[in-house]
Structure formats: C-alpha cells, structure tokens
Amino acid sequence: MDSKLLHCFLAVVDHRNMTAAAAALHLTQPALSKNVHKLEEELGVRLFDRLPGGVTPTQYGLALARRARLIEHEFRLAQSEIEGLREGGGGTVTVGAGPM
C-alpha cells in the first residue's frame, strides 16, 4: 500500500469534499479521485459514499482512517527517531525505581 494513497485518502476524510482535499494537497481533483479509486481497487471495497455536497466515509473508510492515522503517527515517530540518531542523540537511558 502506497503511503501517498493513504495521505490522499485521509485528506478526503478530513475535508469531506474531493475538491477541497485536492486543493489542500495541491493536486487536481481528477488526480485525487484517481488515487482514491486506486486505493479502493487495491482494497476491494468502496471507501466513500459520493453525495451531491461531498463525500462521507463508508464503514470500510472509517476503519481504514483509524489505522491510517496510526500509520502516519508511527511514521512521524520513526522520522523523529532517525533524525535524533543522525544528529548523534541516540543512546540508551535506563531508569530504575526502588520499592515504594
């Protein structure tokens, strides 16, 4: 699964509108729609119900959104850890506590 597709998907979840999400991502609306469609094909489910005023996530979309947010969070933590290691801030800290 491509992280770019997840990022596009989450933008649509957040904006509930393909045009607004595309603008936030600096993409065209057709390009964003293509990315969402590609993710839907990959997963074999419809992620959004298309409505006249925008979109709403299906049950599959809601489930993916929860997990995709965790994936993005873990990725940011990994980037931060790598940055710390690259700057020489890596190491081990041991903390002990005595009986209370």
Q: 43 vs 37, 69, 96, CA distance in Å?
A: 10, 17, 46
Q: How many domains does the chain have?
A: 1
In a domain, 40, yes or no: yes
Residue type at 50?
R
62-95 pLDDT, tens digit each: 999 999 999 999 999 999 999 988 888 656 666 7
Per-residue confidence band for 96, with pLDDT thresholds at 50, 70 and 90? confident
State the pLDDT at residue 91.
Answer: 60
The CATH number that applies at residue 10 is: 1.10.10.10
Structural domain for 72, as ranges? 3-86
In a domain, 98, yes or no: no
